[in-house]
C-alpha cells in the first residue's frame, strides 16, 4: 500500500470522526434552539456559538487541506528520489557492463596473442628440429662415405698384398687383363702390377 493510499484512508477516518462529532454538536445546538424559550438566554450569544462551530469546521478543513498538500509534495519528492536512484542505478549498471565488456575483450586479445606466440614458438621449434635432422643426416652421410672410402682403401691394400700370394699363372692373367707385358720373373710381374696400381 502506497503512502498516498495510507494517508487517504487515515484522512477519511479523521473526517468521519470529525463529521460525527460535528453532527453530534450540531444536533445538540439544534435541540437547544428548538426548545421554546421565553426571551433570550442570559449570557449566551447563540449566533456566536453557531459561528464558532462553523469556524472550527473551516479550520479543520484547512488543516486537512494543508496536510494533503504536504503529502502530495512528499510523494513528488519521493518520486524524484526514485527517479534519481533509478538513473544512478542505470549509470552504474552501464559502467559495470562496459567494464565487463572491456575485460572480456582484453582477455580475448590476450588469448589470441598467446595462441599466436605459441604457434610461432611451435613453428620455430619444428624448424630447429628439421635443421637438426638435416645436419645429423649430412653427418651420417659423411660418416658412411668415410667408412666406404676406408673400406675401398682396405680392399685396394688387400688386393696389393694379394699380389705376393699369386702364382705365375695368376699374375700373368692379371697382367693380361690390364694389357701389361706378361714376361719376366714373379717379382718383376708383381712390381709391374704394383706400379700400375700407383699410376
CB burial of 75-114 (b: ≥16 within 10 Å; e: otherwise) equals eeeeeeeeeeeeeeeeeeeeeeeeeeeeeeeeeeeeeeee
Pick from 193, 148, 145: nearest CA to 168? 193
For 105-137, what is each residue's pLDDT tens digit?
Answer: 999 899 889 889 998 988 899 899 989 999 999
pTM above 0.75, yes or no: no
pLDDT tens-place string over residues 147-157: 888 887 776 66
Same domain, 114 and 167: no
Q: Is residue 136 part of a domain?
A: no
Q: Tell me which residue range forms the domain holding 155.
A: 141-198
Q: Is residue 41 part of a domain?
A: no
Residue 129 lies in a domain: no
Asked whether residue 15 falls in the same domain as residue 91, the answer is yes
Amino acid at each position: 500500500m502506497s503512502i498516498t493510499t495510507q494517508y487517504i484512508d487515515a484522512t477519511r477516518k479523521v473526517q468521519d470522526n470529525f463529521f460525527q462529532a460535528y453532527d453530534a454538536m450540531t444536533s445538540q445546538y439544534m435541540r437547544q434552539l428548538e426548545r421554546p424559550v421565553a426571551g433570550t438566554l442570559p449570557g449566551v450569544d447563540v449566533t456566536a456559538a453557531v459561528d464558532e462551530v462553523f469556524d472550527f469546521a473551516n479550520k479543520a478543513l484547512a488543516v486537512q487541506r494543508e496536510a494533503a498538500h504536504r503529502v502530495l509534495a512528499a510523494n513528488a519528492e519521493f518520486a524524484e528520489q526514485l527517479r534519481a536512484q533509478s538513473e544512478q542505478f542505470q549509470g552504474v549498471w552501464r559502467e559495470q557492463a562496459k567494464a565487463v565488456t572491456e575485460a572480456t575483450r582484453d582477455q580475448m586479445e590476450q588469448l589470441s596473442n598467446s595462441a599466436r606466440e605459441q604457434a610461432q614458438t611451435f613453428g620455430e621449434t619444428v624448424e630447429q628440429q628439421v635443421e637438426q635432422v638435416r645436419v645429423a643426416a649430412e653427418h651420417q652421410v659423411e660418416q658412411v662415405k668415410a667408412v666406404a672410402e676406408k673400406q675401398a682403401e682396405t680392399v685396394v691394400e688387400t688386393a696389393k698384398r694379394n699380389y705376393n700370394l699369386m702364382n705365375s699363372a695368376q699374375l700373368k692373367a692379371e697382367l693380361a687383363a690390364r694389357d701389361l707385358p706378361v714376361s719376366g720373373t714373379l717379382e718383376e710381374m708383381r712390381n709391374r702390377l704394383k706400379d700400375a696400381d700407383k699410376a
